[in-house]
Amino acid sequence: MIIRLDMQSDLPIYTQLINQIIEGIASGSLQPGEDLPSVRNLAADIGVNLHTINKAYTLLKQEGYIQIHRQKGVVVNPDGMPPVTPEFEQKQAEQLRPLIAEAICRNMDKERLLQMVDSIYEDISHGKKENA
């Protein structure tokens, strides 16, 4: 998996890394049980502080996307992804709300917004089909 980070972005690097790993899992380019680089190796490879990588990995572990073992290292959760819960749905709604509000402010119609969501969903899930 190729990690693409925008060092000029307002989005923190650890958040960009979390997003990239979750998208990799969603698209199938990262498979359950697949090894991820160690904190030190990934920090060296992409040229960021190891605490940044550690924060991203810790948050991914808390959400159930990865497991961290002393002997095995960091792996994509081999037991599958966390289920959709009411808490997850609430978190998603909270994150979508400002995006939808901005689209409305810019006069984007609902159909165009839904087309965009559908297109992104298909783009990510299409990668999963190719990697299956």
pTM of the full structure: 0.86
User: Edge-to-edge strand order for the sheet containing 66-69?
Assistant: 35-36, 73-76, 66-69
Torsion of CA 59, 63, 69, 73, to 10 degrees: -60
In a domain, 4, yes or no: no
In a domain, 3, yes or no: no
For 103, the token pair is: 């689209």
- Domain housing 30: 13-76
Short-list 129, 130, 117, 127, CA closest to 20: 127
From the number of C-beta atoms within 10 Å of its C-beta (0-12, 13-18, 19+), residue 122 rates as exposed
In a domain, 8, yes or no: no
50-84 pLDDT, tens digit per residue, is 999 999 999 999 999 999 988 889 999 998 888 99
In a domain, 7, yes or no: no
What is the CATH number for 55? 1.10.10.10
For the chain, what is the domain count? 2
Same domain, yes or no: 65 and 106: no
Mean pLDDT, rounded, for 103-114: 97
Same domain, yes or no: 31 and 49: yes
